[in-house]
A and B are shown apart, each in its own frame.
Chain A
Amino acid sequence: MYKYDAIDQRIVDERVAQYRDQTRRFLAGELSEDEFRPLRLQNGLYIQRHAPMLRIAVPYGMLSSRQLRKLGDIAKKHDKGYGHFSTRQNLQLNWPKLEDTPEILAELASVEMHAIQTSGNCIRNITTDQFAGIAPDEVIDPRAMAEIMRQWSTFHPEFALLPRKFKIAVSGTKHDRAVVQAHDIGLEFYTDAQGKMAIKVWVGGGLGRTPILGSVIREHLEWQHALTYCEAIIRVYNLHGRRDNMYKARIKILVKALGIDEFRNQVETEWAHLQGSLNTITETELKRVGQHFETMPYETLPSHDASFDMAVASNPAFAAWVKRCVHPHKQAGYRAVTLSLKPHGKAPGDATSEQMWTVAELAEQYSFGELRVSHEQNLILADVKLSDLHAVWEKARAAGLATPNIGLLTDIVCCPGGDFCSLANAKSIPIAEAIQMQFDNLDYLHDIGDIELNVSGCMNGCGHHSVGHIGILGVDKDGSEWYQVSIGGKQGNDASLGTVIGPSFSADEMPEVIQKLIDVYIKERTPEERFIDTVRRLGVAPFKANVYAKEEIAA
């Protein structure tokens, strides 16, 4: 993974000094609340219900053991001993003291980390596929380009105060796992007819209040132009995006208002001036950064391992875990492992300091000292030998990190919701926990099979409910908490937005509502058909009918 040189280190150190002084000025009354807000937000600090929330950047989801160990230490020392991994692959601390935040940033800087631009109206953390570099279906490893873009976007002067937040995702696989269509800019890397790295550029996607899937603004862009082309897009947005109404300020609204063709004309006109300027990426720079992401020093192994095969055959619990949590790898004899942060009845995405230390240890011992955070809020060991899987499983299980539910109904993607977040209309964690307990039967879960359930506590959509096969959205009705349910959303190449099934429900009703949706699926599915495919084949009607059946009789 990328390692800082003296220049990178200096930038984060100077950021700590700058933020320390900003905080000092705020505490001394030299900065008003309103004036401090954009400053602290660009350093990931929110003021929440109970305490500030600090969002720490995990660029494109990559962490070293040393970094994760430090995160565990920070959570122990400055928080209540746990952190929350978010859908932007970042880590959030829920209980730090404002006065402590400069010190936390200094500790982060000591392990090449920061909280720069994790919030605020600026270019946010760039996200990608958690299996980048090891996925068998990968065409291009996008991490070097993601790092080049991270550096370019860091304190970009022209885009320091955009109309609204700005999210970029990069992906280099046949099967998109980075949700590029749901980002302000999505960069899909591929190899073109000349055998060169090229980019398909998506623009104007976004979840939140007005979920919209992006449009293709350019089918083919040579990789050298990634930065200047993004500059052209963001300049048009910076000048013309709405600032008078924050709910209409995202680039997706501008793209819709102008239409993609007119928006493209404006961007191309702008780019005609920027193309070839000094921000054009050089071969040398791509090579320099790329060296940090070279293939790991893999051993040459056979594609089968007898001890592994025997363990799978003899131990059903291990076999269940392998089925759900172990993923193919491009290198023979290796596998990627997802450590589930979704044990039933616990807040999805949360990890204790002890768990972070355990994972750091596992990564060090079995996976070249590196790990990744997925946007589904789990942790990934990317390079585990087949022969080590059983040992990893046993240690992960002892730490509560081996629930065999990845991709199943209880692998719920969930925002912190009304328990923590001051934007939320409703709680989300208790809903997720209640659903997990309703379906706390592994055989049944495996029988239901692949399904994605997403919960957001408000229409800002941090839980990505719009692209969940089942999406749950917390809404406020006259001061009480209600939940709106949609089905048929999907991430990936064939992404779609969910359809709301009808009037919303109270928290108590939610497990039963999900049960009724699943009952329809089990009854109607054809062999091997996934939930999402049944919904696409049948439409919303039969699901809706079953969920609302009782009410109709009562009426």
Chain B
Amino acid sequence: MSNLIQLNQGIANIATDAWTLVQLPASQVEERKQAGKVVLFKLTGENTVTNEQIATTAIPATGKIIVPLSVFITRKNELASRIQQGEVGVWLATHEVLEHLVKDQPDLNTLPIIAIHVERFADGRIFSLGTLLRTRYGYKNELRAFGDVLRDQLYFLKRSGFTSFQIRADRSAQDAIASLNDFSVPYQGAVDEPRPVFQRYNRTA
């Protein structure tokens, strides 16, 4: 059973996933630690991917794939024809810098999908990344959240421009759909509705 929620013209449905997610191989470099514990959140701009990881990432020979940003940038020549055919999307971790993608690929709309991986529920950088992709960089295609994605983020993700949501495997996507509409009248303008409430209604009446 698929755990992917997709928004089409504002209507949410459980959809089968046409994309294969390409992961980086595990790093040999030791994780950064603090007081003996692995640091939960990486700093924005922190370089966490090694050249070796990029080189040894296994890319399936056929089909639609979403590749890590670092692989996309470094192994572009190898992927060129598939990019042209619209079979390659890109994913970023929340600590990666959006501008690196934009610099590499000035017309983001050649990408059919961009996905953002949120490692931990509490990492709200994903909302700014979505907002920037939609409002600053004019990205119009599918924008997906995956990772620690649970129903109580969905309303905020939707308002930040996300259109598909890969719900964490141990939770029901069917149950989660309801939370996309937790609130019916947002106060402030955001990606999905840029007009704040005072621009949409005559509240003086």
Given A7-B185, A38-B121, A151-B197, also A288-B39 (CB < 8 A)? no
Our pick among A38, A155, A245, A281 for the contact of B122 (Cβ within 8 Å) is A38
Main secondary structure of the interface of A (DSSP, over half): helix
Which listed segment binds A: B60-68, B81-89, B101-109, B152-160?
A: B152-160
Nearest residue (CB) in B for A22 is: B152
Given A155-B183, A158-B128, A161-B127, also A279-B121 (CB < 8 A)? no
CA distance in complex: A244, B44 (Å): 10
- Residues on A with C-beta less than 8 A from B135 are 273
Q: Are B184 and A158 in contact (CB under 8 A)?
A: no
Given A277-B194, A288-B203, also A158-B185 (CB < 8 A)? no
- The number of chain A residues with a CB under 8 A from chain B is 43
Whether A35 is near chain B, meaning CB under 8 Å from some CB there, is yes
Nearest residue (CB) in A for B126 is: A161
Nearest residue (CB) in A for B135 is: A273
- Residues on B with C-beta less than 8 A from A288 are 198, 203-204
Our pick among B121, B128, B187, B196 for the contact of A155 (Cβ within 8 Å) is B187
Nearest residue (CB) in A for B168 is: A35
- Residues on B with C-beta less than 8 A from A238 are 124-125, 127-128
Whether A191 is near chain B, meaning CB under 8 Å from some CB there, is no
Our pick among B123, B153, B187, B197 for the contact of A243 (Cβ within 8 Å) is B123
Nearest residue (CB) in A for B193 is: A278
- Residues on B with C-beta less than 8 A from A10 are 184-185
Q: Are B128 and A14 in contact (CB under 8 A)?
A: no
Whether A285 is near chain B, meaning CB under 8 Å from some CB there, is yes
Kindly state the interface size class of chain B when it binds its partner.
35 or more
CA distance in complex: A266, B184 (Å): 34
Whether A415 is near chain B, meaning CB under 8 Å from some CB there, is no
**A90 CB → nearest B CB, Å:** 20
Our pick among B41, B157, B179 for the contact of A244 (Cβ within 8 Å) is B41
CA distance in complex: A14, B201 (Å): 19
**B52 CB → nearest A CB, Å:** 24
Our pick among A35, A121, A152 for the contact of B150 (Cβ within 8 Å) is A35
Interface residues of B (CB under 8 A from A): 32, 34, 39-45, 121-125, 127-129, 131, 135-136, 150, 152-153, 155-160, 179, 182-191, 194-199, 201, 203-204
What are the 8 A-B residue pairs with the smallest beta carbon separation, nearest first? A161-B124, A157-B159, A243-B41, A285-B198, A157-B156, A151-B187, A160-B156, A158-B127
